[in-house]
Amino acid sequence: MRRVHSSEVKRTVMKSLEDRGVSIEAIAEIVHEMQSPYNPNLTMEQCVDSVLAVLNKRELQHAILVGVELDRLAEQNMLSEPLLSLVKGDEGLFGCDETLALGSVLGYGSIAVTTFGHLDKHKIGLIRELDTKKGGRVQTFMDDLVASVAAAASGRLAHRLRDEEERASAQQLDG
């Protein structure tokens, strides 16, 4: 059994996202839309940094690897029935795509969980494009995985903003 180094996993995840038409910037745009109402000084650079930070987490990386592989296998008709039809058709009651994606955001708190639900329901930005199934691609898992990355990055930013506010408040009290 080969032990897989985390750098190989990260490279594969980043290449898989790119191959599936997913850019870090497009995910960051979703994060910015979700968090800018709460942080008017939020920059796209901060959003990109947050997306990259959550993509360093193994749980998200592993979820992306599994989801991308299932989407690819469905495109190649290499899943058995009835799973093939469920994945290719993005069956509404299938739910495994959302379950995989939701599981990977749990480490980022209730903000990430509720943001994921919002993104899954409203299909913002790139998530909507992936959900429309353009070009014959199967993106059953990918749209939800993008939502999970954006939700985790949003939760991370929200917690960091609170930490910064508390530090500033403590400094004022000490000063």
**Cα distance between residue 51 and residue 74, in whole Å:** 27
- N-term to C-term CA, the chain: 58
Q: Quick count: other Cβ atoms within 10 Å of Cβ 72? A: 17
Mean pLDDT of all residues in 50-73: 97
Asked if 111 contacts 159 with a C-beta cutoff of 8 angstroms, the reply is: yes
pLDDT above 90: residue 175: no
The pTM score is 0.92
Mapping DSSP to helix (H, G, I), strand (E, B) and coil, where does residue 55 land?
Answer: coil
Q: What is the pLDDT of residues 9-54, one digit of tens each?
A: 999 999 999 999 999 999 999 999 999 999 999 999 999 999 999 9
Provide the residue count of the chain. 175
**What was the pLDDT predicted at 163?**
66
pLDDT above 90: residue 76: yes
Q: Quick count: other Cβ atoms within 10 Å of Cβ 124? A: 17
pLDDT above 70: residue 91: yes
Over pLDDT 70: what percentage of the chain? 98
* Residue 158, both tokens: 């929200």
- Ordered alpha helix ranges (H), 104-141: 109-122, 126-131
**What was the pLDDT predicted at 161?**
77
Q: Give counts: helices (H), strands (E), the chain.
A: 9, 0
Name the region of 21 (left: φ>0; alpha: ψ -120 to 50; beta: rest): left
pLDDT above 70: residue 69: yes
Over pLDDT 90: what percentage of the chain? 82
